[in-house]
């Protein structure tokens, strides 16, 4: 980040602006869509604190946001999510990002061949940190129950990413990858966690 960019960010009005530490533009767009409805401005920082290896999404998110805050000293949040598949004893869980990079959706579908129990859930944790909570981040949860599809289903032009093409939430005939951002935000774990954060933030401010 250049010196001018840092100065520009520091000059933004306090109390109405938060930053999302992520390198995923799709996650950022989903968050921005929700936060704008709560009159909260969000900026994207391609910065993420060092992650720990843990079975707890909350522990991972808290550690990550503390490290990120120490680097930028801005009001900032991170999001950590996991996909938990019942028939695979909760695999890949908090290691979803690594598993996706290594075996992709096709690998999960291969593991699920001939398995009738397709139930799964996405879980999300938002951890927020600022100068008032430098060592004790606030955390907010979200969960979306659904199932693993038999094949990848996605639609051109939609913003689905990661395991979205193989996850169909309860109450919908579409996978996340077949939805618009607005549709997905009506079902997703991330949207739920962000809404919980937004409600708290508005009260806090």
Per-residue model confidence (pLDDT) at position 200: 95
Q: Which of 59, 80, 130, 164 is catalytic?
A: 80
Quick one: 14 exposed, middle or buried, by C-beta within 10 A (0-12, 13-18, 19+)? exposed
3-class secondary structure, 191 = helix
Active-site residue, 164 included: no
Q: Would the pLDDT of 5 be above 50?
A: no
- Report the topology of domain 3-204: Maf protein (3.90.950)
Q: Would the pLDDT of 196 be above 90?
A: yes
Count of beta carbons in the 10 Å neighbourhood of residue 173: 6
C-alpha angle with apex 156: 151 to 160, nearest 5 degrees? Answer: 65
Which long-range contacts link 70-73 to residues 24+ away (Cβ below 8 Å)?
70/134, 71/47, 72/19, 72/21, 72/45, 72/47, 73/131
- Per-residue confidence band for 7, with pLDDT thresholds at 50, 70 and 90: very low
Report percent pLDDT > 70 for the chain: 89
Mean pLDDT of the chain: 89
In angstroms, rounded to a whole number, what is the distance separating the alpha carbons of residues 134 and 115?
A: 46
- Domain ranges (residues) in the chain: 3-204
In angstroms, rounded to a whole number, what is the distance separating the alpha carbons of residues 180 and 66?
A: 32
Query: Average of pLDDT values for 44-62?
Result: 83
Q: Which residues contact 80 (CB under 8 A, 6 or more apart)?
A: 51, 57, 60, 61, 64, 94, 124, 125, 127
Per-residue model confidence (pLDDT) at position 30: 93
CA-based torsion, 188, 191, 193, 195: positive or negative = negative
Report percent pLDDT > 90 for the chain: 78
Per-residue model confidence (pLDDT) at position 143: 98
More confident residue, 117 or 6: 117
Query: Average of pLDDT values for 155-166?
Result: 85
Which residues does residue 167 pair with via DSSP β-bridges, in sequence order? Answer: 148
In angstroms, rounded to a whole number, what is the distance separating the alpha carbons of residues 20 and 126?
A: 10
């Amino acid at each position: 980040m250049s010196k001018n960019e840092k100065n520009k960010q520091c000059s933004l009005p306090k109390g109405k602006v938060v930053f999302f530490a992520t390198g995923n533009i799709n996650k950022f767009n989903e968050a921005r869509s929700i936060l704008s409805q709560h009159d909260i401005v969000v900026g994207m920082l391609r910065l993420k604190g060092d992650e720990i290896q843990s079975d707890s999404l909350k522990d991972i998110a808290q550690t990550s946001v503390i490290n990120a805050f120490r680097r930028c000293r801005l009001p900032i949040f991170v999001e950590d999510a996991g996909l938990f598949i019942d028939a695979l004893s909760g695999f890949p869980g908090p290691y979803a990002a690594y598993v996706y990079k290594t075996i992709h959706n096709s690998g999960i579908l291969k593991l699920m061949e001939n398995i009738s129990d397709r139930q799964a859930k996405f879980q999300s944790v938002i951890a927020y940190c600022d100068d008032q909570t430098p060592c004790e981040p606030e955390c907010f949860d979200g969960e979306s129950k659904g199932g693993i599809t038999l094949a990848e289903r996605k639609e051109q032009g939609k913003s689905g990413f990661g395991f979205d093409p193989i996850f169909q939430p309860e109450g919908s005939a579409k996978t996340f990858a077949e939805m618009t951002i607005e549709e997905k935000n009506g079902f997703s774990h991330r949207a739920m966690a962000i809404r919980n954060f937004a409600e708290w933030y508005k009260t806090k401010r």
